[in-house]
A and B are shown apart, each in its own frame.
Chain A
Amino acid sequence: MNAYVIRRLLLMIPMMIGVTLISFTIIHLAPGEPMAQQTDLNPNASPESLKRLRELYHLDKPLYVQYYIWVKKIVVLDFGDSFSIDARPVLDKIAERIPITLTLNALSLIIVLVVSIPIGVYSAIRPYSLFDKIATFFVFFGFSMPTFWLALLLMLFFGVWLEWLPISGIESYNHDSLSPVGRFIDYTEHLLMPALVAGLTSLAGLSRFTRQNMLEVIRQDYVVTARAKGLNENVVVYKHCLKNAMLPVVTILALSIPGLIGGSVIFETIYAIPGMGQLFFQSVMSRDYPLIMGILVIGSFLTLLANLLADIAYAFVDPRIAYE
């Protein structure tokens, strides 16, 4: 097992090199001048100063030299400084945003698990029943729902019409003056809608997946045996079937991570949540090369890490799997 983990960790190195190569090439081949942001609006900026700026950031050098300079720093976790006015280190800017995005994604994953597994199980126990048909229809609904539209509708309904929930940010103006419990409630109110929205697509996917797996498992001989020896139906379903049907869910959850991270751009922008998605959107709009690259690399790293954790977790829950 240890050897397997070490091998997988080592395999992440070429993967990360590949990821940096792809994202670096794409970003730098795309037309657009990053320094234009700093010189276009400044009437005093001369062609010479633009040239100096380009030299300062090595933008005048060939692409492979730029890549080499950049990668050499990344190895020691130096992602450079942001091109924006504050010129803060990229890593600091990302570090203060990641917890918010991860908390939000963790919250929505919990919602997804709690809602979708029971739906999938009930659908599978009585396939083609009324409940199953309604659930199937809702699954298609969830797949087809534009996330940003759902976000807008919830804002309109709970925020503007009912005025139950705040429509933007993660804390109220008077947050600091609240009691600890008050602060917790304040956070919850702000994060409820975004977490729901973020989880919807995975929710649909996972209930479908659970249903299919349960249907497979229910047909197995050992389930027939369990029923034949007169076991209570609940025991059969929840002890014999569910446990086995849940195994692949670990993988599916890990596979949904890049989607969740990518999707955070949309709902963080809509709900004005200061997370990594919003930061990425801002950095992209201002052509902040170091920040864009930093977020792409860290986003991809999180994805690889999630895949690895999923494979390891799989080995723990499924005794049939042994990685040598």
Chain B
Amino acid sequence: MNNVAVPKTFSELFIYKFKRNVMAVAGAVVVFILFVVAAFAPVIAPYDPSEINTKIILLAPSIDHLCGTDDLGRDVFSRMVFGSRISLTVGFVAVGIATLIGVFIGAVSGYFGGWVDSALMRFVDLMLTIPSFFLILAVIAFMEPSIYNIMIVIGVTGWMSVARLVRAEFLALKERDFVTSAKALGATNSVIIIRHILPNAMSPVLVSATLGVAGAILTESSLSFLGIGVQPPTPSWGNILTLGKDNIEYAWWLSVYPGMAILVTVLGYNLLGEGVRDALDPRIVIHSELE
């Protein structure tokens, strides 16, 4: 082990540990491929995803139609390729919203403490008491079902764990010497929070955001599957599966392929998130070193 270049800096160590985690690398590759597919969807998709052709309704998978066709004769593979854009957008925007709210509430709560902290944390407890899928469903159903509303609702109902996480980090960090010295130099509260403490609290937020994307994609596809998410003709993996359920006795391919896409994508984000967490955790020593 001694003649191998030993990683010194934080990022070197991070990359060193991450690269040795096969599952994490696999997750990163999946996520990367998903980005490429979403970015080049028009090039990759062999057909127009919304082109209706009544002559080729519910065709089984073949060389021409890799994942078969749906009940309107649209190419399922092309629809899945374009559906990746929905998953990606919803995942990122929803988690972005949740992270912004969570970081704000967590930071304020942890930094100021006292009654502000108590009030905000009781509010978090309350939000966690209402079964979250119930809450999402209740709100979504009253609004026009659209991709924007879904992103907002998933974000607005998903910030609580981030808030708790950030609060815990702030509670520990605000007692540290660098914060005291910033205060002594006359820095305002907002400067201390944003410039001094927040950057040091970002690692767990990053991990939770990565895992959050996985959760948001799952929620979006469930809602679309129930018919109150992304509306046809816009293709989403969830709403193709709705067709799969309607045609379950005739067209297995409508039920099988889009679900695989969801599973692999979510798995990718989960593996990536866990990999980042392990690589950031100084307590975790790479297993191969122990043997």
Question: Which residues of chain A have a CB within 8 Å of any CB of chain B?
Answer: 15, 18-19, 22-23, 26-27, 30-32, 128, 137, 140-141, 143-149, 152-153, 155-156, 159-160, 167, 258-259, 261-263, 265-266, 269-270, 280-281, 284-285, 287, 292, 295-296, 299-300, 303-304
Q: In the docked arrangement, what's the CA distance between A32 and B214, Å?
A: 30
Q: Does B33 contact A (CB under 8 A)?
A: no
A299 to B, closest residue via Cβ:
B131
Q: Specify which of A23, A152, A295, A300 is in contact with B245 (CB 8 Å cutoff).
A: A152
Is the pair A258, B259 in contact by a Cβ cutoff of 8 Å? Answer: no
Known: A143-B266, A281-B137. 16 other contacts (CB 8 A): A27-B139, A32-B143, A140-B274, A144-B214, A145-B266, A146-B266, A148-B221, A149-B241, A153-B255, A160-B249, A258-B130, A265-B134, A266-B226, A284-B138, A284-B141, A296-B134
Which of B129, B142, B259 contacts A152, CB < 8 Å?
A: B259
Given A140-B270, A146-B266, A296-B138: A155 in contact with B248 (beta carbons within 8 A): yes
B92 sits at the interface (CB 8 A): no
Partner of B129, one of A145, A258, A281: A258
Known: A140-B270, A269-B226. A285 touches B141 (CB 8 A): yes
Given the complex, which residues of B lie within 8 Å of A287, measured CB to CB? Answer: 141-142
Contacts of B218 in A (CB 8 A): 144, 146
30 sample A-B contacts, Cβ–Cβ < 8 Å, listed by A number: A18-B126, A18-B129, A19-B129, A19-B130, A30-B143, A140-B267, A141-B263, A141-B267, A144-B218, A146-B259, A146-B266, A147-B222, A148-B221, A152-B241, A152-B259, A153-B255, A155-B245, A160-B248, A259-B133, A262-B133, A265-B134, A266-B133, A269-B226, A270-B245, A281-B137, A281-B226, A295-B134, A300-B129, A300-B131, A303-B130
Q: A19-B126, A152-B255, A153-B259 are in contact. Are A265 and B142 (CB under 8 A)?
A: no
Cβ–Cβ contact A299 & B248, under 8 A: no
Interface mask (B235-251 → A, CB under 8 Å = 1, otherwise 0): 00000010011001100
* Contact flag A280-B126 (CB < 8 Å), given A30-B139, A149-B259: no
* Contact between B248 and A156, CB atoms less than 8 A apart: yes
A128 CB to closest chain B CB (Å) equals: 6
Residues of B near any A CB (own CB < 8 A)? 23, 122-123, 125-135, 137-139, 141-143, 214, 218, 221-222, 225-226, 228, 241, 244-245, 248-249, 252, 255-256, 258-259, 262-263, 266-267, 270-271, 274, 287
Q: Chain B contacts of A259 at CB under 8 A? A: 131-133
Name A146's contact: one of B123, B130, B222 (CB within 8 Å).
B222
How far apart sit A152 and B225, CA to CA, in the bound complex (Å)?
11
- Rounded to whole Å, the gap between the CB of A276 and the closest CB of chain B is 10
- Asked if B137 and A280 sit within 8 Å, CB to CB, the answer is yes
Kindly identify which residue among B128, B132, B135 contacts A23, using a CB–CB cutoff of 8 Å.
Answer: B135
Whether the Cβ atoms of B143 and A258 lie closer than 8 Å is: no
A27 to B138 Cα, complex, angstroms: 7
- Compute how far the CA of A266 lies from the CA of B224 in the bound complex, rounded to whole angstroms: 11
Return chain A residues, CB-CB under 8 Å to B133. 259, 262-263, 265-266
Q: Is the CB of A32 within 8 A of B142?
A: yes
For A19, list chain B residues within 8 Å (CB). Answer: 126, 129-130
